[in-house]
Amino acid sequence: MKAGYRKRLVERLLQNLRLGRKLRIDLLGATSMLSRSWADVKKETIQNCFRYAGFRMPGDDTPNSDSTEDTAGVSAEVWNKLAEFPGAIDGSTFDEFVSADDDVPIMGQLQDEDYIADVVPTTSQSDSNMEIDDGPLPTSSEVISALALSGAIA
């Protein structure tokens, strides 16, 4: 999916360079590119991701496939067209562009205490979730008397 999104990003950059416009992608444009990238992900790719994570169906003897979606094909052609514009790219390949952030941590390492804190409520959390006991509910006759009294006051 990441490769598909970045391919669309490069295509948008190439289109803007051809038209002499500055590259601007708003939230709607980014969401649209992301949606189309997700729609292009193959069923087999998703299945391989689950296999790689250790989720297997009984009797599934298919080995983990570490291959990702093919990013060469059309992407290399678009990348080469982009290279025709001076200063557009720095001599890197499309695969290097796609994998530029592969080593960036996406989440911190949690310790046991962090997991426990997420599950066990603290004192202030448990106090705020307690129901307040207002005492016994009034009877019907008490409600009618209160309404009659409020009508006499108003």
Domain boundaries, the chain: 2-98
Q: Residue 31, exposed/middle/buried by CB under 10 A (0-12, 13-18, 19+)?
A: exposed
Q: Read out DSSP for 34-76?
A: HHHHHHT--HHHHHHHHHHTT---TT--PPPP------SHHHH
HSE at residue 111, side-chain half, CA atoms within 13 A, is: 1
In terms of DSSP H, where are the helices of the chain? 2-19, 27-39, 43-52, 73-83, 94-98, 112-119, 123-128, 140-153
Q: What is the structure's pLDDT at 73?
A: 56
pLDDT lower than 50: segments of the chain: 68
Q: What is the structure's pLDDT at 127?
A: 55
Q: What is the structure's pLDDT at 27?
A: 94
Contact 7, 74 (CB under 8 A): yes
